[in-house]
Structure 1
Amino acid sequence: MPSRRKFLKKSSVASIGMAGLDVLNPFVNDIFSPLTLMNSNETTENLIGLYGPWAVSLIESKLPSLSFRRNEWTNLAQWREMAKQRLVERLGVPDIGGMPQVTLKKQYEYDGLHIEELTWQLPYGRPTEGILLKPANAKGPLPAILAFHDHGGNKYFGTRKITKTSNQQHPLMKEHQQEYYEGMAWANEIAKRGYVVLVSDAFPFASRRVWMQDVPAHLRRGLNDNDPENSENIRKYNEWAGEHEHVMSKSLLSAGTTWAGVFYAEDKKALDVLCARQDVDATRVGCAGLSGGGMRTVFMGGLDERIKCAVCVGFMTTWKDLILHKSYTHTWMTYVPILPNELDFPEIFALRAPLPTMVLNDEDDDLYTLPEMKHADKIVGDVYAKAGASERYKCSFYPGPHKFDKKMQAEAFAWFDKWLK
């Protein structure tokens, strides 16, 4: 499977503004030269040139209107209610019906785990496929984790990115897990610690992806849905899907919703499915994910109080970072119109306060600048301090690039154990 960098070089360099993938392209510096994309001198060198200082001044001159850091906000509960209501409005969360009917397709044991392959049908699109894992022969209701897969410039795969259900693993998924998870299927690993773990395909990944047969022929670039597991076909599909993101985003905005809003609506259904199970203690549920999964953790963790503990990995920075330096490294799924006037990005996650919350960052993560990752940490920390819950927030920085490796997994799992067991 091509790395993030190779993927963007081949699929998006010609239309860097359209691709909107959750990936960094080191070749972009050559395209934009002499414009420097790092923040060595943000007054003149940034993604939008001389317009950068003006654009960032629109939100930087004062605290966002719904920031709990503002002096006028003194009541935590009132702030959370008001800010959540506004966030839901900005997301344009669509109504996608009630509790879906869940079908058990298959169940078996592997890797010391009981595994169920599930599907449920939403009012639109193809059925959502999910993987549920728990310790084999587990007794009684267990704490649970809603595990979010990453983006990775790879829409062909979803649940398989963070699970392993047999020895016959797709070679691209072996590479993916080695690159981002140090060879681990992290959903399996936390399930082994005594959790019921649910992973479902996000919109529009894997079972929820856009099929070639469903779009006009002139947009298909000669691709079709035949021989789908072929690695070369997957590579071509992922290139197409990356460049299709701007089309999807424009269509969603035209429909009065946002990509993040659709994520939240569908992830809530997955949470409904998880919490409704008799083998789950619905009072002890957490969520986590890397990258695009970290973004979904921010919105789900910030909005749904059923999530008692949340760990965001590799997706924490400020709107300022995206304005000046890093919007081109991120998927169109990230952006919510108007919201930066009211909440900085870290404050979405801080809506959880005082519930236990963790952020794990990589110091050499190309998707963000280190100063703004640290600023984001301070923002969440300040909210938790004002809420009198500093001991329930933790942020750690690890050396290396964008990843969720074994050491980071160990810290995340211990955090879940502390608060959910």
Structure 2
Amino acid sequence: MKSLLLLLLPLSLHAARFPEKTPDSPGARMLDGYMQQQTTDIEEKGGLKDIQTAEDWQAKAPEYRRQLAEMLGLDPMPERTALMPTKTGEVKGDGYVIENMHYQAVPGLYVTANLYLPEKVEKPLPTILYVCGHSNVMKDGVSLGNKTGYHHHGIWFARHGYVCLIIDTAQLGEIRGEHHGTFSKGRWWWFSRGYTPAGLEAWASIRGLDYLETRPEVDKTRFGVTGRSGGGAYSWWVAALDDRIKAAAPTAGVTNMRNHVVDGCIEGHCDCMFYVNTYRWDYDRLVALVAPRPLLICNTDKDTIFPIDGVFSIYQNVRRIYTLLGQEKNIGLQVAEGGHLDLQPLNNGAFHWFERHLKGANAMAVLDEGAKKSLEPEVLKVLKEIPQDQKNTAIDETFVPKATPPSPPIAKADWDKQRDAWMTALKDKVFVNWPKEAPALTMAKENSIERDGIRMTAYDFETDHAFRLRLYIAHRKGLRLEDLDLVALNVLDGQGWQDFCNTYESRFSKLIESFPVTEKDEKSFESEKKMFETFKWGMAYLCPRGIGPTEWTGSEKAQTQRQRRFYLVGQTLDSMRIWDIRRAVEGLKGIPGFEKTPLWLQAHRDMAANALYASLFEEGITRLDLHELPASHQQGPAYLNVLKFLDIPQAAAMAAEKTRVIIYTGDSTAWEYPTNTAKNLGWPEKQWSIRKPVQ
């Protein structure tokens, strides 16, 4: 007997609603407080509270719709290329016919689908686009597509006088793509590309409507959209973006930001559920974009990944918009008892909604039957073999275009124009959600200790209203700060913090917190001591948030889910670490004795990139020493949308215009852009240099 696997639960439902319990720590408490603050700010500014009149909404809705498209990677919209629709088979049932077919949303992106039609079609009919949730249907290791898990919906619609197109998703279609890029695959570069599979699914749905408009059986003035779970989310995307949708009934596909970020519902969702939140929206703003068209919000009362409290809050907020528009009759809420399941009461609610709003049926009409499964999934399979030109499996690498690296400028005017455009993009699209108001920067001196000819002093400061960081400053015993020839700020990653502790902790344990010494490094200490004896230098050390004293612990999965929360609030962890570096630079300059002292920045690996970008926004940095600097955000730290505009080599060129930059690497080929830019524009020879790695 051949094996058949059929699941109608989200692939990630094994994740609990609440965050994984981890040992309490100062860093974890700071992070929790930070996410609470960010969520509250989004609730106040990113929802619908500023909409007080119908005129307010009508004025702002078009820009909101554009912002949504941008956050889905769809601004500008992809070219509407030839769909290449292809019918591969047909199934005849009791009162209905199914066409197995596919189309290409973009060249090479195959959307496998089943088109359900009444057995007899005498005139154009109302038409439903059904978008699928995470139904994993496999047989003998071959995907039959998640469309087959929802075939009972298509049959119901066809038997009741509708055309219905059910389309596979990228991840669970017959050609497997990926929705779990940040959930479990470590593809943090999705953030840098401004890519989310939500945008991919939205575009596949919009192209599905394009295809349906070509069919003579379809009344293109009466389109509806529905789907559950992931399909519920995609219903929002397409209904919000495309006004061809005249009625929508998303099921279990949305909740508010508080549920996701504070309560931990993000842990139950793959990336297809989220836009790249550049504009810091709460989800009621998305839902309201369906207004004033008929909208039924469907959910169960015990759904742990779409909790009813968040769903009801969204309903109430959006209902107010419908009321302002004089269309309160066009919004409804269907709640059924149960968990995250494909339940008949929810299905019947959606069916009833379309009967009313696409057919004009009486509100008291009674449905004669529910949707029942009756087909073997194999009969709905579209492809006999995977097309050789398919791009589904790697579409995340191309769907949102990244900026084409420019040629090194020849003229200063060209460089000035390009640099200014990049800086504008960084401010408006990449780091736009740095704090607008930060606490007063006070460097609180906590303690100072002398050991073996070295003085180390600890200063604490607030980088924002949640995180308090510690800055360590070491120099030769007996020197005043104002006697130092320079101070180098070392920005530490996890490995750097470990090395720092191994070097200093045994002598300065009262200053250094929360990290064990794995191997006391006397050789390193003696080297530091000799440096201080030889030069009148100061060494400052900073661990940005989540490292060293503010580290949050837990499993790899727990760490991943914490990092994902940042992009839900319109940031990334590394973009906020840049903010921490900026605050440390500002604070360091404010310490009495350092007002005029030359300041260097030094960092390794991803933190080198963070230090590089921090230097673009701060004045008075005289030198950057960057070790093992990643050559691209494709491998390096993730910042929202950055690859739409520039990559690390271009940022390095901008830094080199302001300060002396030294890259320590054994491969200079990745750095031809800043090298040639410096040469073409006649910058001083020492302004940009590449050295061999320090051994």
Do both share a fold (TM > 0.5)? Answer: yes
8 Å contact 1:274–1:280 — kept in the other structure? Answer: yes
Deviation at 1:73, TM superposition (A): 6.6
Q: Structure 1 residue 194 and structure 2 residue 194: aligned? A: no
Of 104-113 and 187-196, deviating more is 104-113
SS in 2 for 1:49: helix
2: distance between equivalents of 1:47 and 1:112? 61
Deviation at 1:144, TM superposition (A): 0.3
Deviation per residue, 1:47-99 (Å, 9 max, x gap) = 96343322323313x2327x375237725433221211121122221515324
Deviation at 1:318, TM superposition (A): 0.7
**Which of residues 273, 280, 287 in structure 2 aligns to 1:334?**
273
2: distance between equivalents of 1:96 and 1:204? 22
SS in 2 for 1:162: helix
Q: Structure 1 residue 362 and structure 2 residue 345: aligned? A: no
Which residue is equivalent to 2:148? 160
Of 355-364 and 120-129, deviating more is 120-129
| Distance 1:46-1:128 versus aligned 2 partners, 3 A rule | farther
2: distance between equivalents of 1:401 and 1:113? 31
| Distance 1:290-1:415 versus aligned 2 partners, 3 A rule | same
SS in 1 for 2:161: coil
Which residue is equivalent to 2:60? 79
Please tell me the residue identity of whatever aligns with 1:192. Answer: R
8 Å contact 1:68–1:383 — kept in the other structure? Answer: no
8 Å contact 1:145–1:196 — kept in the other structure? Answer: yes
Of 301-310 and 372-381, deviating more is 372-381
**Which of residues 285, 290, 302 in structure 2 aligns to 1:352?**
290
8 Å contact 2:39–2:262 — kept in the other structure? Answer: yes
2: distance between equivalents of 1:69 and 1:120? 42
Q: Structure 1 residue 321 and structure 2 residue 277: aligned? A: no
Please tell me the residue identity of whatever aligns with 1:25. Answer: A
SS in 2 for 1:83: helix
Deviation at 1:107, TM superposition (A): 2.3
Deviation at 1:204, TM superposition (A): 2.7
SS in 1 for 2:55: coil
Q: Which runs of 5+ in 1 are unaligned?
A: 8-20, 36-44, 164-184, 212-240
Q: Structure 1 residue 204 and structure 2 residue 171: aligned? A: yes
Q: Structure 1 residue 282 and structure 2 residue 191: aligned? A: no
| Distance 1:96-1:151 versus aligned 2 partners, 3 A rule | farther
**Which of residues 4, 8, 15 in structure 2 aligns to 1:25?**
15
Deviation at 1:243, TM superposition (A): 7.4
Give the TM-score normalised by structure 2: 0.46
Q: Which runs of 5+ in 2 are unaligned?
A: 360-695
8 Å contact 1:96–1:122 — kept in the other structure? Answer: no
8 Å contact 1:59–1:340 — kept in the other structure? Answer: no
Please tell me the residue identity of whatever aligns with 2:213. Answer: C
**Which of residues 70, 73, 77 in structure 2 aligns to 1:89?**
70
If you compute each CA radius of gyration, which structure gives the higher value, 1 or 2?
A: 2
2: distance between equivalents of 1:320 and 1:292? 19
Please tell me the residue identity of whatever aligns with 1:306. Answer: R
SS in 1 for 2:210: helix
1: distance between equivalents of 2:136 and 2:315? 26
8 Å contact 1:4–1:23 — kept in the other structure? Answer: no
Please tell me the residue identity of whatever aligns with 1:59. Answer: I
8 Å contact 2:53–2:324 — kept in the other structure? Answer: no
**Which of residues 31, 46, 64 in structure 1 aligns to 2:46?**
64
Which residue is equivalent to 1:217? none
SS in 1 for 2:45: coil
Which residue is equivalent to 2:563? none
Q: List aligned pairs for 1:393-404, cutoff 5 A.
A: 393-404=331-342
Deviation per residue, 1:312-346 (Å, 9 max, x gap) = 101221112111111111111222233562x3213
Q: Structure 1 residue 296 and structure 2 residue 234: aligned? A: yes
| Distance 1:73-1:91 versus aligned 2 partners, 3 A rule | farther
2: distance between equivalents of 1:255 and 1:275? 32
8 Å contact 2:6–2:135 — kept in the other structure? Answer: no
Give the TM-score normalised by structure 1: 0.74
2: distance between equivalents of 1:4 and 1:189? 18
Of 325-334 and 122-131, deviating more is 122-131
2: distance between equivalents of 1:319 and 1:260? 17
| Distance 1:3-1:142 versus aligned 2 partners, 3 A rule | closer
| Distance 1:154-1:128 versus aligned 2 partners, 3 A rule | same
| Distance 1:33-1:246 versus aligned 2 partners, 3 A rule | closer
SS in 1 for 2:302: coil
Of 395-404 and 146-155, deviating more is 146-155
8 Å contact 1:319–1:340 — kept in the other structure? Answer: no
| Distance 1:262-1:317 versus aligned 2 partners, 3 A rule | same
Deviation per residue, 1:262-299 (Å, 9 max, x gap) = 11111111111112211100000100000000000011
Deviation at 1:142, TM superposition (A): 0.6
| Distance 1:25-1:122 versus aligned 2 partners, 3 A rule | closer
2: distance between equivalents of 1:57 and 1:75? 23
**Equivalenced residues, count:** 345
Which residue is equivalent to 2:102? 119
8 Å contact 1:23–1:153 — kept in the other structure? Answer: no
Greater percentage in helix: 1
8 Å contact 1:146–1:197 — kept in the other structure? Answer: yes
2: distance between equivalents of 1:191 and 1:22? 31
Deviation at 1:2, TM superposition (A): 8.1
SS in 2 for 1:208: coil
Deviation per residue, 1:392-417 (Å, 9 max, x gap) = 00012211101232222112111101
8 Å contact 1:313–1:361 — kept in the other structure? Answer: yes
**Identity, % of aligned pairs?**
22
